[in-house]
Amino acid sequence: MIIEQRIYELKPGTVAEFLKVYEAEGLALQTEALGRLLGYFVSEVGELNRVVQLWGYESFEDRARRRAALSADARWRAFLGKAGSAVEHQRSELLTPASFSPIR
């Protein structure tokens, strides 16, 4: 298994609206295409105006296939037109669990 950590830095004052639109429209589309949402978080201390997603995949190839399917979905592109303007920066990291990790 690999885990993708996606961090979105949002414009100040847009977190609540971003989450509202994401929950109403984006979450179902991403879950349909990507499958296994491990967690979705909002920063409260430190670097603010950030949301963090953790997605689980069977392999790098599984991730590539699923991300390509999501990118090709016209409904996803329409959602990005609504929510994408709130995003200032995005970072993605691919993580592999250590042998003792509770998420494997």
Domain boundaries, the chain: 2-95
Instruction: Return the CATH fold of 2-95.
Output: Alpha-Beta Plaits (3.30.70)
pLDDT tier at 4, thresholds 50, 70, 90: very high
Question: In which region does residue 46 sit, left (phi positive, over 0), alpha (psi from -120 to 50) or beta (all else)?
Answer: left
pLDDT digits (tens, 9 = 90+) for 15-55: 999 999 999 999 999 999 999 999 999 999 999 999 999 99
Q: How far is 36 from 30, CA to CA, in rounded Å?
A: 9
Which pLDDT band holds residue 103 (cuts at 50, 70, 90)?
confident
**Integer angstrom CA distances of residue 67 from 16, 64, 71, 76:** 25, 5, 6, 11
Judge whether 67 and 34 are in contact, CB under 8 Å.
yes
pLDDT over 90 at 104, yes or no: no
Chain mean pLDDT for the chain: 96
pLDDT for 64: 97
The pTM of the full predicted model, rounded to 2 decimals, is 0.91
Contact (Cβ atoms closer than 8 angstroms) between residue 11 and residue 88: yes
pLDDT, one tens digit per residue, over 52-67 is: 999 999 999 999 999 9
